[in-house]
Every structure is written in C-alpha cells, then in structure tokens.
Amino acid sequence: MPGKDADRSKRLQDELWAPRLNKATAPRDRVVVLVDMARARLSEDDPMWAALAKQLAQYIEAATRGT
C-alpha cells in the first residue's frame, strides 16, 4: 500500500503482542499466544500450518503411545 510504513506497522504489531507474550510464563500459555499471533499474521494457506500440524500430530502420537 503506498505511503504505508511496513517497519512501523511491524513495530506496532510487536508492541501489541509483547504484553501477552511476556505474561505467558508457562510453556502452554506461550504456545497459545504464539498460535494466536500466527493466526493474526499468516494466511490460511501458509505452509507453516501444514508443518506445524504434522509436527504436533507426531509429538502427540509419540506421547500417547507411552501411556
């Protein structure tokens, strides 16, 4: 978009997310915030979603096999 400062937009976005990320001290809470950040920033067809889904599914499968 003409006239839009991309660096400033990124800084403002980071400033909005920083308090939530800093308050999330437990690993689970940090993951929730990071997923929310990704949902806000990445498109639906971003390849990161497929990679994340695959990795998480593998981890959950391995973790539940042992129980």
**Does the residue 45 lie in any domain?**
yes
Q: Which of 34, 36, 38, 59 is nearest to 47 (CA)?
A: 38
Q: Which residue has better confidence, 24 or 1?
A: 24
> What's the number of domains the chain is made of?
1
- Contact, 30 vs 24, CB < 8 A? yes
Residue 58 belongs to a domain:
yes
CA distance 65 to 49: 24
Four-residue CA torsion sign, 17, 2, 47, 50: positive
Confidence band (pLDDT; 50, 70, 90) for 11? confident
- Asked whether residue 1 is assigned to any structural domain, the reply reads no
Flag whether 55 is in a domain: yes
Would you state the pLDDT for residue 66? 74
Show the domain range for 52. Answer: 6-65
pTM of the model: 0.73
Would you place residue 67 in the very low, low, confident or very high pLDDT band (cuts 50, 70, 90)? low
Query: What is the tens place of the pLDDT at every residue in 53-65?
Result: 999 999 999 999 9
Residue 44 covered by a domain: yes
